[in-house]
Structure 1
Amino acid sequence: MSSRQPFLHIPDFMADWPWPRRIHPLYEEVSAESSAWFKSFKAFKPESQAAFDKCDFGRLASLAYPDASREHLRTGIDLMNVFFVIDEYTDVEPVPVVKEMIDAVIDAVHNPHKPRPEGETILGEITRQFAERALQSATPEATVHFLESFTDYVRSVVTEAEDRCNGRIPDLESFIKIRRENNGGRPSLSPCELHLKLPDEVFYHPNLVELRLCIVDMITIINDLYSYNREQATENDHYNLLTVVKREFNTDLDGAMAWAMNFHRDVSTRFLEGLKNVPSFGPEIDPQVQEYLQLIANWPRCLDSWSFESKRYFGELGLEIQKTRMVPLLPRRKPDLARRGEDVRVHLIEGLAQPIAA
């Protein structure tokens, strides 16, 4: 007698978000350029590179920055590739190796004209070339803000590695604070600002900080709900909102999903209300602030759309799952920790769905 396959139901929590899906008209052209650049590093073996390509990070950036200039779209696409190669490389390494990798990345992003030492992780050179190109077209104000948020992000990757290696799942309050750094949300908002001149007293005004945090929290919710199946299948779900909520409240997956839905409703309401209370910073700055806020408000929509349109989380079933909202849960399997660096395995969802050999 066979048991029925379990499913995860994901409600359409983005149905009422006011910002519609839009995509940059240069998506295919600039994505191809960025992909050729990334492949030149041979960061993955062919099988894993093919799986990485199916994630379509060019689509993610093109949905995120639909009005960007050509050069800033390229920055956004390159940045997505940088984020996810860091993610794939560090997820399977012990803490000392992760620290070494992140030290190289931090040095490279702050010193893009300095040659990388021989024998260093390829992450250093990937980051160096990215920063060298990206920072050329960014305003001084945007450069400072990006470097701060990117550095905070990669440092938090070490914290996540420490928790993973120690089998530690943070409490919910700590988790939400940590995820505001390690979900990559803050630096992902930076391409929205590359052409703007927002002084620190504006960028760090409490109102803008709160609005930015709302978007970053929404990124956590959307990412963690859609990535949960992939992560639990490879026993990499310790830093997922659903896992943390299940543990915090001693509830099941449906209970955790209901909590996440309420959290999303509260955060999105705070953002929409906060937009009504943005102070004036003067006639020169106010239009830039309004443009910036409209651009970052697009991020939850972009992430929602990309999650179904790419093959990262749902494989070939993405558009079908977008309609049915039913996700067939994958069997859990041990991660292949023997494959690291360029040998790291980037999984296809279809591969994870295969029966586990006895």
Structure 2
Amino acid sequence: MPASVLSAYSPTSFLMPDLEASISVLPERDTNPHHDEARSESRLWINQFNKTVYGPKMRTFMDNCNLELINSFCYPYANKDGLRATMDLHNILWLYDEFTDTESGKDAHRSASVAQQALCDPEFNDGSWLCLMMKDFKTKHIDRAGPDAARRFIEHFCSYVKVVGKEAELREENKILDIQDYITLRRETSAVRTCFDLVEYCLGINLPQDVHEDPVFIGGYNAAMDLIYWANDLYSYNMEQAKGHSGANVITVIMKNKHLELQAAADFLGGYFESLIYQWKTAREVLALRSSEKYTNAVTVLDAYGDWVRGNVLWSFTTERYFGTQNTEIRKTRCVGLRLPFEESVNLTE
């Protein structure tokens, strides 16, 4: 569809591809049995910091999103301490994401600098909620991980906060990237790398760096990571377009670059999702043929990434984060009615 036609096209709804059918090839697992205890502890911990940022309405909204539940879907094997670490990380990521969504590019870069210094410099302390939160998380969890996993986590988190500043600049410029540049950016802004680092922490595995640099492992790693944020972009599209943030969403990127209307872009995403499932499965099968212990562990880690892919899709329909109180009905019909601009949105400080 030509761009001139695309700009004039205003659908009122679209049908989402059936991602639950696509993930049916992945093993079904129960949610983590330590959920309630770990959630109570994590909620008390994050409340020390989010009350500085969130107003009462936003805190209520975030409570209803049940953010910690995603970890019980995605880390079903974790012990209580491991699950608590994943919940703390997710609460950090959601708080940081919501906070920087309100910042200019310059301010987002300043926040990134605080987070980086808090993780990397033991002497740094500017007294801010962000600094105290990151230092406490590092002490409680990352310092207890294997050395390679801990190093990768810090590198990946620092990369995440740095690129979030870039995302804020693109939002200010109303710039939409091409598909490959968007994939490169989204692999960092999604923060999935940091969640994958905690997979090794929860499993008690410290994969050597040469495994992470193996092309086959990278193929499986990237496929799982892309599956997660492509699903997130699909499910969050309605909310983001209502907030005026849809430029940083793969649906908008596909529409612009392939000159497609909304429904065709959603269908394209569904087909690409299937190809990523195949890529992940192929990498797993190749690594399973290798006999050394480090590759046996690599298969275990890839399987856990598969838990993440499946858990992310299932959680998206149990939370009110994306679809509000219509989540059960939308899961059944997959039909999404587009919100009007800013409809049902909640300001950060309300």
Q: TM-score, normalised by structure 2?
A: 0.90
Indicate conservation of the 8 Å contact 1:88/1:344, yes or no: no
1:125 paired to 2:132: yes
Cα distance between partner residues in 2 of 1:212 and 1:344: 37
Larger RCO of the pair (alpha carbons < 8 Å, separation 6+)? 2
| 1:293 to 1:330, Cα distance in 2 relative to 1, 3 A | same
Cα distance between partner residues in 1 of 2:305 and 2:292: 21
Indicate conservation of the 8 Å contact 1:202/1:281, yes or no: no
- Where 1:145 maps in the other structure, the secondary structure is helix
Cα distance between partner residues in 1 of 2:43 and 2:171: 30
Deviation at 1:287, TM superposition (A): 3.1
Cα distance between partner residues in 1 of 2:43 and 2:65: 12
- Counterpart for residue 84 of structure 1: 94
- Where 1:309 maps in the other structure, the secondary structure is coil
Cα distance between partner residues in 2 of 1:310 and 1:253: 24
Q: TM-score, normalised by structure 1?
A: 0.88
Aligned residues between the structures:
335
Cα distance between partner residues in 2 of 1:300 and 1:252: 27
CA RMSD of superposed structures (Å): 2.2
Of 9, 19, 39 in structure 2, the residue corresponding to residue 13 of structure 1 is 19
- Counterpart for residue 300 of structure 2: 291
Indicate conservation of the 8 Å contact 1:13/1:261, yes or no: yes
**Equivalent pairs: percent with the same residue?**
27
1:197 paired to 2:206: yes
| 1:137 to 1:232, Cα distance in 2 relative to 1, 3 A | same
Deviations 1:230-254 (A, max 9, x none): 1011111110010111111221110
Cα distance between partner residues in 2 of 1:280 and 1:258: 35
- Counterpart for residue 109 of structure 1: 119
In the TM superposition, 1:172-211 aligns within 5 A as 172-194=179-201, 195-211=204-220
| 1:26 to 1:335, Cα distance in 2 relative to 1, 3 A | closer
Which structure has the highest helix share of the two? 2
Cα distance between partner residues in 2 of 1:154 and 1:282: 38
- Where 1:40 maps in the other structure, the secondary structure is helix
Deviations 1:299-330 (A, max 9, x none): 11111011110110011121221111112211
1:311 paired to 2:305: no
Cα distance between partner residues in 1 of 2:240 and 2:119: 28
- Counterpart for residue 74 of structure 2: 64
- Counterpart for residue 340 of structure 2: 331
Cα distance between partner residues in 2 of 1:16 and 1:95: 37
Q: Which moved more, 1:247-256 or 1:20-29?
A: 20-29
| 1:101 to 1:297, Cα distance in 2 relative to 1, 3 A | same
Cα distance between partner residues in 2 of 1:270 and 1:115: 42
Structure 1: runs of 5+ lacking an equivalent: 346-358
- Counterpart for residue 41 of structure 2: 33
- Where 2:246 maps in the other structure, the secondary structure is coil
